[in-house]
Amino acid sequence: MREIGHFIGGKHVPGTSGRYADVYQPMTGEVIAHVALASTDELNAAVANAKAAQPAWAATNPQRRARVLMKFLELVQRDYDKLADLLAREHGKTVPDARGDIQRGLEVVEFAVGIPHLMKGDYSDGAGPGIDIYSMRQALGVVAGITPFNFPAMIPMWKFGPAIACGNAFILKPSERDPGVPMMLAELMLEAGLPPGILNVVNGDKESVDGILDHPDIQAIGFVGSTAIAQYIYARGAANGKRVQGFGGAKNHMIIMPDADMDQAVDALIGAGYGSAGERCMAISVAVPVGEDAAERLLEKLVPRVENLKIGPSTDGAADFGPLVTREAVDRVKNYVDIGLQEGAKLLVDGRGFKMQGYENGFYMGGCLFDHVTADMRIYKEEIFGPVLSVVRAPDYKEALRLPTEHEYGNGVAIFTRDGDAARDFASKVNVGMVGINVPIPVPLAYHTFGGWKRSGFGDLNQHGPDGVRFYTKTKTVTSRWPSGIKDGADFVIPTMG
């Protein structure tokens, strides 16, 4: 059995807490590794290591730091197949989807290679007589990332790429469900030339997370996961004086206007609703056709597509999606389907009974489709995080705009229409952080920022793009005066430049 410990100070170190978690291979249901769960002492040792290494890294010129990331990009290309295979085996998503998970992370590392440019400050020449004002961005010190199971490559890279480029040392606490890929990424960073201690992976559960939240030497925490934990991280981290961003769950709507191209809309819905078994924070989980006619036309095309979804093991590149992450996840999602039925929604496609031949112990379920879901139902209000799509019929555009606007989550939303005026009005008014116009999963590219609103995101700054650099740096502003004014003597009135 593979034992996964921690990666601290540039070395694999075994866990010493005596606590372990099973890492499953969802496609077969087997346990394929044991991962150590760190104690507070182990976390503290990693932080001490990071703290000792960080000043020299921050003092390394930014171009040299960027070159380490460039080399890392090259090494990931070398090991892409291995990484994607391990990711698919530990997570359950298909290998092609695992490759996408890695790619969307690499794009943020590519962006972070521009760090010498991104960290430049401002300069005001002659802000007063003989006075110049300039600002600089400096690393925070030791910072941390706590990441979810559903993107075990992308989200760690979204965090450690910008943070390390900016000169910080990083403690990554990945999901205990699929820790293999984060460990490999840390090894590749070391191989790329990162000094030991700058990227540490501490595997664990609540104990190590609480250790991060309370550690006086950790300056900032980037979290991604479910909303209840995001809010907990935000509150406890901020109470300890840290900078915190906490991204949480989602309920992403796709509005289908009566003039939309239905074939395009159905293709988009199938991919965005069921890809990765619905285990994406930007998955579409609510389809909102506008008007009865649009609803009928949509469902006529959608139902057979959901019935014919191809589910397969993660290694089957032709499958639409693979298993869910754990047996508990399957039970939770099926339970939501039961709840939907009790609440009176109409189950048009029932994937609860799906069995994968030859993989009977895997964590599979088929795609489910509900019609006549209403805003008061739990299956509408809560995040299901599985291959279940709910259709909420809206009588008009006003109601279609109101639904995502008033939902407690505000991660992503999409509108499908041929009408530029409706799309523009929707993008301007909807109370959601990321909007797609004829794009079902509007995950912004690396040089823009990613972040949901309302209970999908706690904190002030988004992830990656310019906000990622702002989050992992602090601004120092210098007001300088040369050379003679100082001889004028003391001045007890607050300086003004007028």
- Among 40, 103, 226, 326, indicate the residue that binds ligand NAD (CB under 6 A): 226
| 287/434 with CB nearer ligand NAD | 434
Of 98-106, 219-227, 418-426, 471-479, which part binds ligand NAD (CB under 6 A)? 219-227
| Least CB distance to ligand NAD at residue 47 (A) | 17
Catalytic-labelled residue, pool 255, 281, 294, 388:
281
Return all residues near 189 (Cβ < 8 A) that are at least 6 apart. Answer: 68, 72, 160, 164, 198, 199
Residues 122-161 as x/- pattern, contact with ligand NAD by CB under 6 A: ------------------------xxxxxx----------
Site string for ligand NAD, 374-413 (x = CB under 6 A): ---------x-x-------------------------x--
Judged by CB under 6 A, the residue of 152, 225, 258, 351 near ligand NAD is 225
Contact call for residue 251 and ligand NAD (CB under 6 A): no
Total interface residues for ligand NAD by CB under 6 A: 26
Q: Is 281 a catalytic residue?
A: yes
Contact flags string 448-487 toward ligand NAD, x per CB under 6 A: ----x---x-------------------------------
CA 12-172-285 angle, 5° bins:
130
Write the binding mask 261 to 300 for ligand NAD: x where contact by CB under 6 A, - elsewhere.
--------------------x-------------------
> Which tokens is 239 given?
């109470």
Q: Does 224 bind ligand NAD (CB under 6 A)?
A: yes
CB of residue 107 to ligand NAD, shortest distance in Å: 15
Minimum CB distance to ligand NAD smaller for 161 or for 258: 161
- Contacting residue, 175, 200, 219, 285, with ligand NAD by CB under 6 A: 175
Position 247 contacts ligand NAD (CB under 6 A)? yes
**Residue 419 interacts with ligand NAD (CB under 6 A)?**
no
Task: Give the residue numbers annotated as catalytic, written as ranges.
Answer: 281
Per CB under 6 A, residues contacting ligand NAD are: 146-151, 173, 175-176, 205-206, 209, 224-226, 229, 247-250, 281, 383, 385, 411, 452, 456
